[in-house]
Structure 1
Amino acid sequence: MCYTVKILYDGYSHTKNGQMFANCTCTLIKGPNNMIVDTMTAWDKEKILSGLDSNEVNCDEIKYAVGTHGHSDHLGNLNLFTKAKHIVGFTVSYENEFFCHPFETGEPFKIDDCLQIIPTPGHTSADVSVVIKTQDLGTVVVSGDLFEREEDIADPTLWKYVAGSENPELQEKHRNEVLLMADYIVPGHGPMFRVTEPMKEAAMVSVSGIKS
């Protein structure tokens, strides 16, 4: 009962003439419980529909629509998925019904044995990430802006100051936890990347230092 991860669009972020330009990575998770994660801006409807169509999925076949956090470039097309349960940060809802789930205590939202949503605050106070056991890539974590892009591992200023972090210490903790669990990470504003052994070793050293 494993899943496949399809990147509909790679995100980006850059500045030009002092102006920030950004859009999020949009990810389709295909399997027993189809999911879309981070639906780009409100101007990207046709891109979303085209990406789904190329993967032979329609909006009504999406069972869960996730916004990893409450920034507008991650939530713009949730209204396309009216058959889906919506999870935006720590908030879980369907139509006008809201469901209590204790993300704030660290409790994962488990959908099945291969798909769950975990709390990873730091970038904002209510960020979540999606953990997927896949058929071909091992464990993939769709992290939203917990990771801006792969380059922010070597250059922490990208996630601390360029993307911004409400709680850098907490974000670093969750970044290390995700690096240790994942084979691949889908960041908020860049292509999916493989987690290397040096990345895991550095995360382990950091975690050990925090614990000591």
Structure 2
Amino acid sequence: MRELSGQLSAILMQIKKAKESRQLKYGSALEKPRPKVTILRNGSANQTNDGRYNFIATITLVQDNGKNILVDTGLGTDINGRTQLLSALEQQNIAAPGINVVVTTHGHPDHAGGVHDFPDAIHYQGWYIHHRTMFNLSSLFESDRHTLTDNVYLMKSTGHSSDDVAVVVMDEQTMGKVIIAGDTFMRREDLDYPMMWQPLSANETEQAKSRRNVICEAGWIIPGHGAPFQVTRQMRVQFHC
């Protein structure tokens, strides 16, 4: 009996070692893929000599758990911009019907104008969810977050307007924790020049709180009208994180 027990223990040990060896060899292949963020268009914001503004919104693609999430869609009257967006998606091997979710960071026309190009998607704007003509309320109606996938959620970020939301992407492939902030941040430079965001704010106090929340949480920020930027220790000190 002892001999049989010893043989059984040896067999179990061999099985355990073989399993551990397979895990070491193939473990990385079995891991879930991390979310991917692609900037389809870097935005811009310029004031003309006659006092008007030229606004081009940043448009971002987030891919996670098999879902294609488009964040902002640009200006509906920007014909060239529409063509460029659809072309940028094609370069990612995605046609318009392949977009599963559209998130509008806020309702201003330079960010929300192209939603009609994605009628098959589920749309999130403010605390509303809608698909075609059917509406519902998201978790943002009663809380500060709404989950989209295992690694992506929406976060209230009001101030620039009354319905701003940011898209938080956890553990992105190259940037770690990324927050797509809409116009909570216009661009990197508005950290040093408040006049770039304050005159356009519906509620400066609320937006200042939202800006602090984003800076204190993010590793990288994708602003509404500029290129992504990395959050530094100095920025966190500046915002009293």
Work out whether the TM-score is over 0.5: yes
Map of 1:76-155 to 2, 5 A cutoff?
76-133=113-170, 134-155=172-193
Q: Deviation string for 1:47-74 (max 9, x for gaps)?
A: 1111101122221221110110010010
**What residue in structure 2 maps to residue 65 of structure 1?**
102
Deviation at 1:102, TM superposition (A): 4.2
- Do structure 1's residue 39 and structure 2's residue 77 form an aligned pair? no
**What residue in structure 2 maps to residue 208 of structure 1?**
none
**Runs of at least 4 residues off by over 3 Å:** none
Q: Deviation string for 1:150-195 (max 9, x for gaps)?
A: 001111111101xx11111111111111101101101001111111
Which protein has the larger Cα radius of gyration, Structure 1 or Structure 2?
2
Map of 1:2-41 to 2, 5 A cutoff?
2-17=34-49, 18-32=51-65, 33-41=67-75
> Residues of 2 paired with 1:107 and 1:190: CA distance?
25
Assess if the C-alpha contact under 8 Å between 1:90 and 1:127 holds in 2: no
Which structure features the higher share of helix residues? 2
Letter of the 1:179 counterpart: I
Identity of aligned residues (%): 32
Q: 1:165 to 1:90 in 2, by over 3 A?
A: same
Which structure 2 residue ranges, 5 or more long, are not aligned? 1-31
Deviation at 1:104, TM superposition (A): 4.5
Which structure 1 residue ranges, 5 or more long, are not aligned? 206-212
Assess if the C-alpha contact under 8 Å between 2:64 and 2:151 holds in 1: no
Map of 1:192-211 to 2, 5 A cutoff?
192-204=228-240
Q: 2:222 aligns with which of 164, 169, 186?
A: 186
Deviation at 1:198, TM superposition (A): 0.6
Letter of the 1:172 counterpart: A
> Residues of 2 paired with 1:136 and 1:192: CA distance?
12
Deviation at 1:84, TM superposition (A): 1.0
Deviation at 1:106, TM superposition (A): 3.5
Number of aligned positions between the proteins? 203
> Residues of 1 paired with 2:164 and 2:142: CA distance?
13
> Residues of 2 paired with 1:159 and 1:202: CA distance?
17
**What residue in structure 2 maps to residue 173 of structure 1?**
209
SS for the counterpart of 1:185 is strand
> Residues of 2 paired with 1:146 and 1:6: CA distance?
20
TM-score by length of 2: 0.81
Q: Deviation string for 1:69-104 (max 9, x for gaps)?
A: 010010121112122100122221111111112425
> Residues of 2 paired with 1:115 and 1:184: CA distance?
14
Structural RMSD (CA): 1.3
